[in-house]
């Protein structure tokens, strides 16, 4: 059977106007990608006020701000805000990252400008009602306690905390102790000092006109005053090897290894290595751990990274994260096989493995070009991580330039450091040396 | 502020050729929707061999068949199958429902025909290797045991089991007891008797030509022989009110109420009522339970249903499902508010609530038209539930015809039956009458 590699449309065939960008005088960057084959449009708006700005000991401040922001702003009260977006048919989400507070919205293209005006008020003139602090805190407390019943989620949160330095590794949704120490005044202060236009990013994709959106962005944000960038001090990391007792039937194993970060030399090689190790059903981990031995119900590896926001003394850090979930009695064998596979990855990858992973990447790129939400978030992500736009053709060239040899060279060149490792389950495991 | 309702593109403006269908002599139906504005294509292939065909006491047979099917077929061994799909850049998934085994695949349009040929072999000439039965069973056993550590997942599985009659309410991925009783011969027999072209559905959407796909479907499936439809006997339902002890910090509350099913009169009214009750951040449950009172970390309601496959004496059944997750100490109050809201829904909905829910539905329809994967699965679903294609214009008309009055009339006309109710947590709750 022939195994053709997917061919990608050339930029000309797709008739896609180039992405345009403009940075306002106050430092807010606007990115617009017209997609004239669709009727919808989406934006992603990132404001540099994430959980890394939480006051020391009050990890939960950004999460509480994110909740209170949606409880009324501008002319709208709590219900009015949600209703106005619903009336526009907006599919929306607000979330907290370490560096940014982000909102995303998508709907039919003609309704998106009005949605942006509503979110402008959310960031610029929120009510932050004091009498809603208590119910919002109760809701967040419930969410944080629920994680106790979600060990697969908890082990990855706790691994992040051990992998990255404080405050970058802290849970972006906060901690119970942080929430208990938090006051309404802290949240108001977080808004006053951290929510600002400098280093904010607005990315728009879909059935839109770039000039119209530059005008709209100016209307919404041009008179928003720049504020000083708060300083963020980087603290220690957690223990490199740890176990958390959890009374359940399962053991959850989580590992993190240093890898090239997005924007660094070797990133695409690191990405291919992660996919070959644990990205999907032809990956080594899936084959060796799950399919051949039936050792676990879930195993995967993926590349992720930290890009500290402005004002921080921390740098960019990439990581290869691995996870396996298994019954307690098979946990030791699962860990042993996992470590063996991690170790033998240093011997390199095969041409066949690389070809398959490149083919999947290329069809994935085509499909991501068809979603306005995916494009908007990808534009914003590129600007945050790279400080520039990365055209599809450039990503494609980088993927096509990969060979088994370059990936193997990358892997051989990495220092042989032990992973940051965490288990969560009824008993600790023996770590192979 | 103006609150315009999203305007939808007319079918002409979208320049979308109509969906076409053809049913082969053996009963396999092919549905094709060309979407000429995209470069990708997706198919959904449903074969009527779901878990409702599991032999009595051997609930896990379809799940094991689904795993073994992917371990080699036609000219390809286990690895060869996965590698061939990866080489085509295919994003894929195989899953088990009560009525069907389903596979979905998406990639750049020119590679999709070859992916269909691979899946033809998977269904028609699988190896079902006996020596891979044990590792596959180990893997499934791990997955089933993992659910013990996922109480939010477990409570909904167990509620389904109490809501629908056997075998329709049984877990589609099987049970540990069913798996223990299962042999390789059972799986081979399941393939021989239940995997068949009659009542199978192939739905394709994307950058495709309908005639080419009708030819391809004929090449792949025309000589596949029809088989007798196995009889499925419907047994009892579980207890209508129940509690499962679970030693954790949280209590999980799950409810199901009879509602109009997809394809029945009143379906769109039932859908609007579910959205108003618990679909998103302006819903009554979100507002009353989570936002105002901070009682829980997750609360939602949605409409779902059972459509028995061919050969069954069971009918179509719709349900409104509700879920709330909360700490044990707030569980009773959460349940009380939940039941109050369910009760007061019978008094009807407001114009404002309906307008918002219709606006969201309309923009959601536009966005679903831009995803080849969403379209393919929607076409297959319509054919299964309705036995015909439902054009977008018809769905749109039904949504636009909704008024607060028709929804309120629907709600008032439902018999006041107590819900099927299940709690999972450290202690049982008191049920309001």
Please state the rounded mean pLDDT for residues A177-194. 98
Which burial class, exposed, middle or buried, applies to B413 when counting CB atoms under 10 A from its CB (0-12, 13-18, 19+)? exposed
Alpha carbons B427 and B326: distance in angstroms, whole number: 13
List A residues 51-80 in contact with B (Cβ-Cβ < 8 A).
Answer: 70-71, 75, 78-79
CB contact under 8 A, A290 and B360: no
Residue B5 pLDDT: 42
What is d(CA B274, CA B88) in angstroms, rounded to the nearest whole number? Answer: 40
B294: left (phi over 0), alpha (psi -120 to 50) or beta: left
Tell me how far CA of residue B369 lies from CA of A370, A371, B17, B377, in angstroms. 11, 11, 13, 12
How do residues A402-418 score in pLDDT, each as one tens digit? Answer: 999 999 999 999 988 88
Instruction: Confirm if B31 and B202 have CB atoms less than 8 A apart.
Output: yes
A326 touching chain B per CB within 8 A: yes
Q: Which of A43, A65, A184, A210 is nearest to A123 (CA)?
A: A65
Cα radius of gyration rounded to whole Å, chain A: 23
Is B135 within 8 Å of chain A by CB?
yes
End-to-end CA distance of chain A: 44
Among A34, A78, A86, pick the best mutation site for testing chain B contact (most B Cβ within 10 A): A86
Work out the end-to-end distance of chain B between its first and last CA atoms, rounded to an integer number of angstroms.
Answer: 44
The pLDDT mean for chain A works out to: 92
Is there a contact between A17 and A34 (Cβ–Cβ < 8 Å)? yes
Beta bridge partners, B250, equal: B327
Average pLDDT over residues A300-328: 88
Pseudo-torsion of CA B410, B413, B415, B421, nearest 10°? 20
Q: Is pLDDT above 50 for A2?
A: no
Has residue A5 got a pLDDT over 90? no
DSSP-assigned letter for residue A52: G
B226: region left, alpha or beta (phi > 0 left; psi from -120 to 50 alpha): beta
Task: Decide which of A235 and B309 is more confident.
Answer: A235
Considering only alpha carbons, which residue of chain A is nearest residue B353?
Answer: A83
| Amino acid B281: pLDDT | 87
Domain boundaries along the sequence of chain A: 13-221, 241-425
Asked, colleague to colleague, whether B13-221 and B241-425 share their fold, the answer is yes
Q: Please compute the mean of the pLDDT values over residues A251-269 and round it to a whole number.
A: 96
What's the rounded Cα separation, in Å, for the pair B331 and B334? 5
B16 touches chain A (CB under 8 A): no
Q: Which of the listed CATH numbers 3.30.9.10, 3.30.830.10, 3.40.50.2300, 3.30.70.20 matches domain A13-221? A: 3.30.830.10
- Residues of chain B numbered 144-163 and touching chain A (CB < 8 Å): 145-146, 148-152
CB contact under 8 A, A356 and B83: yes
- Which of B134, B154, B411 is closest to B268 using CA atoms? B411
What is the CATH topology of the domain spanning A241-425? Cytochrome Bc1 Complex; Chain A, domain 1 (3.30.830)
Cβ distance A50 to A169 under 8 Å?
no
Segments of A97-198 assigned E as strands = 101-108
Residues of B in contact with A134 (CB under 8 A): 294
Sequence-distant (≥ 6) Cβ neighbours of residue B50 within 8 angstroms: B62, B96, B97, B98, B99, B100, B101, B172, B309
Tokens of B217: 């479907």
Q: What are φ and ψ of residue B186, in 5° steps?
A: -60, -40
Q: According to the model, what pLDDT value does residue A7 have? A: 43
Chain B contact present for A276, CB below 8 A: no
Three-class SS state of B371: coil
For residue B396, give both structure tokens: 């749109």
Strands (DSSP E) found in A35-116: 40-47, 72-73, 76-77, 91-96, 101-108
Q: Can you give the pLDDT at residue A15?
A: 47
Q: Which two tokens stand for residue B355?
A: 């307008």
Of B151, B282, B297, the CB nearest to A82: B282
How far is Cα B289 from Cα B337, in angstroms, rounded to an integer? 7
| Nearest by CB: B139 against A6, A297, A367 | A297
- Rounded CA separation A39/A35 (Å): 9
pLDDT score for B347? 94
Q: What b-and-e string marks burial along A273-296, b requiring 16 or more CB atoms within 10 Å of the CB?
A: bbbbbbbbbbbbbbbbbbbebbbb
Give chain B's count of helices (H) and strands (E).
15, 13
Per residue of chain B (433 residues), give pLDDT as tens.
333 344 444 433 444 558 999 999 999 999 999 998 899 999 999 999 999 999 999 999 999 999 999 999 999 988 899 999 999 999 999 999 999 999 999 999 999 999 999 999 999 999 999 999 999 999 999 999 999 889 999 999 999 999 999 999 999 999 999 999 999 999 999 999 999 999 999 999 999 999 999 999 999 999 999 999 999 989 999 999 999 999 888 999 999 999 999 999 999 999 999 999 999 888 999 999 998 898 998 999 999 998 887 777 668 899 999 999 999 999 999 999 999 999 999 999 999 999 999 999 999 998 888 999 999 999 999 999 999 999 888 999 999 999 999 999 999 999 888 899 999 999 999 987 7
Is A369 in Cβ contact with B295 (below 8 Å)? Answer: no
Q: If pLDDT is split at 50, 70 and 90, which confidence band does A11 have? A: very low
Report the length, in residues, of chain B.
433
């Amino acid at each position: 059977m022939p195994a053709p590699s997917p061919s990608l449309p050339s930029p000309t065939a797709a008739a896609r106007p180039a992405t345009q960008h403009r940075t306002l005088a106050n430092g807010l960057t606007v990115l617009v990608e017209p997609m004239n084959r669709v009727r919808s449009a989406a934006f992603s708006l990132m404001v540099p006020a994430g959980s890394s700005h939480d006051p020391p000991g009050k990890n939960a401040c950004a999460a509480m701000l994110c909740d209170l922001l949606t409880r009324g702003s501008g002319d709208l009260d709590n219900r009015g805000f949600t209703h106005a977006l619903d009336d526009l048919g907006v599919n929306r989400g607000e979330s907290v990252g370490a560096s940014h507070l982000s909102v995303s919205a998508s709907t039919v293209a003609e309704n998106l400008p009005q949605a942006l005006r509503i979110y402008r008020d959310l960031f610029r003139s929120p009510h932050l009602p004091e009498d809603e602090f208590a119910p919002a805190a109760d809701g967040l407390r419930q969410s944080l306690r629920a994680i106790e019943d979600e060990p697969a989620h908890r082990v990855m949160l706790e691994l992040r905390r051990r992998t990255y330095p404080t405050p970058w590794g802290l849970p972006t949704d906060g901690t119970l102790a942080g929430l208990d120490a938090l006051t309404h005044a802290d949240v108001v202060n977080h808004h006053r000092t951290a929510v600002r236009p400098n280093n904010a990013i607005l990315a728009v994709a879909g059935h839109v006109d770039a000039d119209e959106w530059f005008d709209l962005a100016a209307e919404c944000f041009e008179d928003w005053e720049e504020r000083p960038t708060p300083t963020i001090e980087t603290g220690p990391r957690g223990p490199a090897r740890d176990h958390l007792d959890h009374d359940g039937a399962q053991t959850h194993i989580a590992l993190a290894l240093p890898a090239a970060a997005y924007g660094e030399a070797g990133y695409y090689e690191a990405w291919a290595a992660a996919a070959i190790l644990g990205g999907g059903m032809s990956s080594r981990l899936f084959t060796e751990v799950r399919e051949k031995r039936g050792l676990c119900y879930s195993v995967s590896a993926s590349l992720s990274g930290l890009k500290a926001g402005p004002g921080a003394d921390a740098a960019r850090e990439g990581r290869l994260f691995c996870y396996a979930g298994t019954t307690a009695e098979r946990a030791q064998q699962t860990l042993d096989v996992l470590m063996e596979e991690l170790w033998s990855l240093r011997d390199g990858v095969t041409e066949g493995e690389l070809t398959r992973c490149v083919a999947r990447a290329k069809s994935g790129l085509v499909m991501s070009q068809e979603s306005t939400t995916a494009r908007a978030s990808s534009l914003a992500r590129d600007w945050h991580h790279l400080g520039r736009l990365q055209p599809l053709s450039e990503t494609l060239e980088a993927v096509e330039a990969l060979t088994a040899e370059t990936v193997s060279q990358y892997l051989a060149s990495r220092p042989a450091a032990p992973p940051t490792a965490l288990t969560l389950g009824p008993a600790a495991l023996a770590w192979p040396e």
